[in-house]
Structure 1
Amino acid sequence: MQFQGLIHQFPKEIRYLIVAFLVTLSIGFYGGISFVRTTTDANPTGIEERYLGNEADEEATKMKFKKSEGEILTTVHSHILSLSVIFFMVSLLLATTSVNQKLKLFLMIEPFFSLVFTFGGIYFLWKEIHWMKYVIMFSGMLMTLTYTASVLIILLQLFRSKKA
């Protein structure tokens, strides 16, 4: 079955539905990113403090405690499940666009790797493997960039005129 360029043939109502879905999904996605930025200060030290606490830091202005095993497992479990569904749905929509096949394949598959590295990294950071904070930061940024690129491509393709 041919998916390349299929998005241009979708009826107007389906295209509007996809736009509404992507806008709503992105509000939630970027709301989560905003929460991460607020709770970690978007830096490796903040990431480490978020999960391991800062009780030893006498100069800390706000006391943070190490997350419990239940909190870590819940965070990892819920984020991997929900984000994998989100990335799968976005990838299905991206598959119907008429962009370069290699770029499309990268954007469809990469978020799943970043998802495992980000939330697997959080678990291993919690297990006191401190250098994982850099893996978490890099993979989280890559996951956000690929999501953003995918959504922008889909939206641009939805507004392009239909192919003959």
Structure 2
Amino acid sequence: MTYNGLLATFPKEIRFFIATFVVILSVGFFTGLLFIKETESTTPAGIEENYLGNEDDEEATEMKFKKGDREMLTIVHTHILSMSLIFFLLGGLVWISKAPKKWKLLLTIEPFLSVILTFGGIYLMWIGISWFKYVVIFSGTLMTLSFTGAACLVLWQCLKPPKVE
């Protein structure tokens, strides 16, 4: 079965539908990143403070408390499930776009590894393995780059006119 470049052969209306989905998915994804910035979780210290609290910091301008067991399990559970679904759907669209197989593998497999490393890393940091905050930043950055690359690839191939052969 030939699937490389199949996306460009879809009727214009279906490609527009897919492009609209990817745009809305991207709005949701990047809104999540704005939330991370708002909670000051973009630095190792900020991640640690967000999940472990800052009760001992007398200079803190906003008091934060360590997340409870149920709250952490809810955060990890919902993010792993929802992000897996997001990357599965986007990955399916990547596989029917026209691109080298190695790039497709990178854009579709890496995000799953990053989801586990990011949210598993947050949990491991929360239970006391504090150096995982660096893994969380690294894997979260890779996840964002993979999402952006995959979304751009799909959008570009949905919106460009197909070549007549």
Q: How high is the TM-score relative to the length of structure 2? A: 0.97
Query: 2:155 — aligned with what?
Result: 155
- Check if 1:52 corresponds to 2:52: yes
**Equivalent position SS for 1:42:** coil
Q: Post-superposition, which runs of at least 4 consecutive aligned residues in structure 1 deviate over 6 A?
A: none
Identity of aligned pairs, percent?
Answer: 52
Task: Tell me the alpha carbon deviations over residues 114-153 of structure 1, each in whole angstroms, 9 at most, x when there is no partner.
Answer: 0000000011011011001000011001000000000001
Could you tell me how far apart the structure 2 residues matched to 1:98 and 1:24 are?
A: 22
Give the length in aligned residue pairs: 164
TM-score (norm 1): 0.97
Whether contact under 8 Å (2:19, 2:159) holds in the other structure is no
1:1-164 correspondence to structure 2 within 5 Å: 1-163=1-163, 164=165
- Give the aligned residue type for 2:16: Y
Structure 1 unaligned segments of length 5 or more: list them.
none
Q: CA deviation at 1:61?
A: 0.7
Distance in 1 of aligned mates of 2:34 and 2:60:
22
Unaligned runs of 5+ in 2: none
- Contact 2:16-2:159 at 8 Å conserved across structures: no
Residue 138 of structure 1 aligns to which amino acid in structure 2? F
Amino acid at match of 1:42: T
Deviation of residue 41 (structure 1)?
Answer: 4.5
